[in-house]
Amino acid sequence: MKAAVFREVNVPMEIEDIQVSKPGPREVLIRTVAAGVCHSDLHFYNGTYPGILPMVLGHESAGVVEAVGSDVHYVKPGDHVITCLSVFCGHCEYCLTGHMSLCQEPETKRGEADEPRISQGGSGVGQFANLGSFADHMLVHEHAVAKIREDMPLDKAALIGCGVTTGVGAVIHTAKVEPGATVAVIGCGGVGLSCVNGAAIAGASRIIAVDAVPGKLDLARKFGATDVVNAKEGDAVQQVLEMTGGGVHYSFEAIGLKVTTEQAFQMLRHGGTATVIGMIPPGDMVSVHGVDFLFEKKIQGSFMGSNRFRVDMPRYVELYLQGKLHLDDLVSGHIKLSDVNDAFDQLATGEIARNVIMFD
């Protein structure tokens, strides 16, 4: 199969031929149709987060099942699926208490003594997030896919696999935003825009989008923002406090920086909750004023929108088909696998939401 292989930090990837194994008893072979180029991939590509190389990046994808293992009953060849990095075992404490996104059980991967799922010249090649979707095929555990209806466009479905599930889920599942609440979202990339969209679906009365790029703020209005704040034009925290008369009920940080995380906490009214979605670099510390805890302000993390993805993703498909989830506006462009390095360059500028790789 053809794949973009990540071999060295910040060195352009080459499209290479690699080998894919046959599905094991609980594995699924997928023909990749579409894969979004996400900031999480960029964090590993530029070395912000470490990874074991060589590796095939990519984790936000959708495709068609080509083959299944002997013990797979959930999907069959021909089914359309969305992949998810929140692969789950189904029986650990996290899974049994409804926190499947936190499952880390090793049984969803092949063992060190087993043949690698993908390889080159007899040596294993890593699959980012147990997926590796910058390739025309993926071999994954059956608990890494969600089956969807076949009339859903797969380029839009791919975005549900990470950015949409992360943003909408952070609002609905992690923070549990109530109808009528006020919300601020810092960062209007793919995840932040999905947060805005999720807040609108949840019935928030006021949704304030914060970014330094005017074009992204314009886009945020399409996703449901009632107000926008340009972070380059004055103190963003003070603007939000003044607009709301004391702060928002819920804030969301969707960039992954120390300073914006602290701003998200500072934007809260008494009793408010800040939810951190962005991938803050390892080693960075976040500081908040201790006295704020006396006013019941809270700060929490969210991983992949606290998802139950086999339940959530088909529902997000329905919301898209009903016109409530604005996936069309998330797609900045359709590209080929050979354009993936250019897509990373564009993502690093902060000017776009998502490029989507389309496979033949």
| pLDDT band at 347; cut points 50, 70, 90 | confident
- The continuous run of DSSP H or E covering 17 comes out as strand 14-17
Please tell me the predicted confidence (pLDDT) of residue 170.
98
Q: pLDDT tens digit string along 101-136?
A: 999 999 999 998 999 999 999 999 999 999 999 999
Q: Write down the residue that tokens 């902060």 correspond to.
A: 350
Q: pLDDT tens digit string along 291-319?
A: 999 999 999 999 999 999 999 999 999 99
How many CB atoms lie under 10 A from the CB of residue 67? 16
- Whether the per-residue pLDDT at 351 is higher than 70: the answer is no
Say if 313 falls within a structural domain. Answer: no
Q: Collapse the DSSP code of 77 into the 3-class scheme (helix H, G, I; strand E, B; otherwise coil) and give the result.
A: coil
Q: What is the DSSP string of 289-335?
A: -GGGGGGT-EEEE-SGGG--HHHHHHHHHHHHHTT-S--GGGEEEEE
Please tell me the predicted confidence (pLDDT) of residue 14.
96
Cα angle: 290, vertex 291, 293; to 5 degrees: 75
| pLDDT band at 18; cut points 50, 70, 90 | very high
> What percentage of residues in the chain have a pLDDT greater than 90?
94
On whether both 227 and 336 belong to a single domain, the answer is: no
On whether both 72 and 128 belong to a single domain, the answer is: yes
- Number of domains comprising the chain: 2
On whether both 74 and 29 belong to a single domain, the answer is: yes
Q: Write down the residue that tokens 């609108």 correspond to.
A: 200
Say if 292 falls within a structural domain. Answer: yes
The last residue of a domain, from among 268, 287, 302: 302
Write out the residue range of the structural domain in which residue 232 sits.
167-302
CATH number at residue 193: 3.40.50.720
Calpha distance 220→329 (Å, rounded)? 10
Q: pLDDT tens digit string along 128-181?
A: 999 999 999 999 999 999 999 999 999 999 999 999 999 999 999 999 999 999
Q: pLDDT tens digit string along 207-240?
A: 999 999 999 999 999 999 999 999 999 999 999 9
Q: What is the mean pLDDT of residues 70-84?
A: 97
Could you give the residue numbers annotated as active site?
38, 40, 43, 59, 162
On whether both 296 and 181 belong to a single domain, the answer is: yes
Say if 156 falls within a structural domain. Answer: no
Say if 322 falls within a structural domain. Answer: no
